[in-house]
Amino acid sequence: MNRIATVMKIHAKDKLMWFIVPWFLVLLPAFLVNLLIGWIAQPENGLYTGGLASIFVCLLLIGISTLTKSFPFALGLSIRRMDFFLGTLIMVTAVCLGISVVLSALSFVEGDWGWGVGLHFFNLPYLSDGSFVEQWWTLFATAFHVTFLGFFIIAIFRRFGRTGLFFLFPVIFLAGSVLGFLCTYFGWWTDIFNWLSGHSAAQLASWLFVGAVIYVLLSFFMIRKATV
Amino acid sequence: MMNIVEVQGLTKTYGGVHAVDDVSFTMESGKIYGLLGRNGAGKTTIMHMLTAQMFPTSGKVHVFGETPYENNRVLSQVCFIKESQKYPDHFRVSDVLELCPVIFPNWDQQFADQLVNDFHLPRKRAIKKLSRGMLSSVGVIIGLASRAPLTMFDEPYLGLDAVARALFYDRLIEDYAEHPRTIVLSTHLIDEVSRILEHVIVIDSGKLILNKDADAIRGQAYSAIGHAEKVESFISGQETIDRKPFGSLLAATVLGSLDPESRKQAELLGLELTPVSLQQLIVHLTKQKSDRRAVDFR
């Protein structure tokens, strides 16, 4: 337990990456720019923006960097792979919880008021539908998913090296092309879009969460065999 | 004495290259070991496998009687200071030192603080901005203050100046006397460490070529210096590993122990006998081996 806490401490020492960059260097500028645009342009139907996506891109990069720097450091200090993994899992969960709660609160504050200029930054149609818990779940599951997507990609690198990534991306690209072709050939696209639009954001987020759990499990098995 | 490290038939191959080739040895508790050999001989790889940071291709590794892989009972007793240790970008010296007490159960904060002062290490400086020598001293401080029952230093003094290196040896010896533990020094600066080594393991091209007590090795060869003719007559019939002529003099290094009779003979011939340094002997052993290999290839 001690060692898991140590791993979290290693992560927490990087306040810049976990806290300052996502909030103050990424999201805040995105928000301020949009607020300024809203204030200048005063659009009649309000200003809708996807600036919120920036913090999720940031989380993807955080997922990547946990495994590039902290992992070799921790392993070099006689920390088990398992302890590193659990410590990182708890840290990521805590950060995603924090981010999703704050974003939900900001979305609630924004509401229809739109910061006085009709700006829709945190409270977006579809994404912010449903109860407060559903809104929170959508944000949390997405955050958790993107962070572990980054972690998963680098876990492949840690386990299989450069060649691993070299093979992975062509395979994904090829599989995507084949799948896309099949969808067109059998006329599945309409069904897919119907399925997507038939679900709420929170329901889709649950699927994202399932994906994230798969990343976590696969990463775990790769980390168990990773060397420095 | 208890064996705290047991390695049997340890092999690590990359592609077709044997980085470590069928190495077997044991290490006892409370001794200072030298893991010596040329660059790329496989020393670091062996230590990586002892700490389960790398996996052996085949062979058995037991540390404190157990396999080290994912084993906190073993890993919490091991401190491996490697030259290539990575630190997170944003880490300062103080950040690393703060983590150590939790990781190493025997950590001595007072000793660590004293060492930080001795090595003039700036606590608040980012690790990334340290000079090579300062970076090495971070490792040296962690390795000493951790007081881990098995402490391994892999080329710990890269970039350290002579004063700092001497400081390291002094502190090591002092602290070792008060808190005996097993220490492994891996280095190619053999002359500097030879006086503190109790046991020597030499690895060459992945193979173990020597595993002996340091004293036994020192008695394995000696040098005879004197007039060339007299030296020649003295060493005739013995295995000579090195000869350095200067003027009419000759210094020859001979393999074998000195018996009282040859001592007397040397005295009669007016020859000076000196013990050979560990470094000379190991250079000879590793050179001899690669020469032989060169012959094989031809």
> Domain containing B264 — which CATH number?
3.30.70
Give the residue from A3, A4, A19, A78 with the most B CB atoms within 10 Å of its CB, the best one to mutate.
Answer: A78
Paired tokens of B49: 């496998």
Do B257 and B212 reside in the same domain of the chain?
no
- Is residue B155 within 8 A of residue B187, CB to CB? The reply is yes
| Of B190, B217, B244, the domain-final residue | B217
Number of domains in chain B: 2
Element (H or E) spanning A94, and its range? helix A81-110
| Residue ranges of chain A whose pLDDT lies below 50 | none
How many Å lie between the alpha carbon of A11 and the closest alpha carbon of chain B? Answer: 9
Residue B293 confidence (pLDDT) = 54
Structure letter (DSSP) for residue B126: B
| Of B198, B217, B236, the domain-final residue | B217
Torsion sign across C-alpha atoms B94, B98, B101, B103: negative
How many Å lie between the alpha carbon of A3 and the closest alpha carbon of chain B? Answer: 7
Element (H or E) spanning B235, and its range? helix B228-235
Do B30 and B16 reside in the same domain of the chain?
yes
Terminal-to-terminal C-alpha distance of chain B: 46
Do B179 and B42 reside in the same domain of the chain?
yes
Whole-number Å distance between alpha carbons of B273 and B226: 9
Do B284 and B152 reside in the same domain of the chain?
no
- The pTM score is 0.87
Give the residue from B44, B91, B150, B152 with the most A CB atoms within 10 Å of its CB, the best one to mutate.
Answer: B91
Do B152 and B16 reside in the same domain of the chain?
yes
Structure letter (DSSP) for residue B66: B
What is the number of other CB atoms lying within 10 angstroms of the CB of residue A136?
21
Do B286 and B148 reside in the same domain of the chain?
no
**Which amino acid, residue B63?**
V
| Of B217, B252, B287, the domain-final residue | B217
Nearest CA in chain B to A76: B85
CB pair distance less than 8 Å for A6 and B95? no
ipTM given for this complex? 0.84
Give the pLDDT band (50/70/90) at residue B298: very low
CB pair distance less than 8 Å for A3 and B102? yes
Terminal-to-terminal C-alpha distance of chain A: 23
pLDDT per residue as tens digits for the range B174-201: 999 999 999 999 987 888 888 899 999 9
CB pair distance less than 8 Å for B79 and A78? yes
Whole-number Å distance between alpha carbons of A79 and B203: 27
Paired tokens of A91: 């840290």
- Residue with token string 């084949």: A178
Query: Between vectors from CA B251 to CA B248 and to CA B252, what angle results, nearest 5°?
Result: 130
CB pair distance less than 8 Å for A76 and B99? no
pLDDT per residue as tens digits for the range B129-146: 999 999 999 999 999 999
Query: Of the candidates B66, B69, B41, which has an alpha carbon nearest to the alpha carbon of residue B55?
Result: B69
What is the number of other CB atoms lying within 10 angstroms of the CB of residue B29?
15
pLDDT per residue as tens digits for the range B245-296: 888 899 888 888 778 888 888 888 888 888 888 888 888 777 766 565 545 4
- Residue with token string 């791993």: A7
- Is residue A80 within 8 A of residue A1, CB to CB? The reply is no
Whole-number Å distance between alpha carbons of A99 and B212: 60
Residue B66 confidence (pLDDT) = 95
Do B224 and B204 reside in the same domain of the chain?
no
The two beta strands, B32-36 and B199-204, are parallel
Do B84 and B195 reside in the same domain of the chain?
yes
- The residue segments making up the domain with residue B273 are 219-297
Query: Of the candidates A99, A78, A95, A76, which has an alpha carbon nearest to the alpha carbon of residue A8?
Result: A95
Contacts of A125 (CB under 8 A, 6+ apart): A48
Residue B297 confidence (pLDDT) = 46
Do B94 and B53 reside in the same domain of the chain?
yes
Do B228 and B194 reside in the same domain of the chain?
no
Do B193 and B242 reside in the same domain of the chain?
no
CB pair distance less than 8 Å for A78 and B99? no
Do B171 and B93 reside in the same domain of the chain?
yes
User: Which residue in the set B75, B87, B95 is minimally distant from A78, CB to CB?
Assistant: B75
pLDDT per residue as tens digits for the range B207-217: 998 899 988 88
Whole-number Å distance between alpha carbons of A219 and A132: 32
The two beta strands, B240-246 and B249-255, are antiparallel
Whole-number Å distance between alpha carbons of B30 and B95: 31
**Which chain B residues are closer than 8 Å to A75 by Cβ?**
53
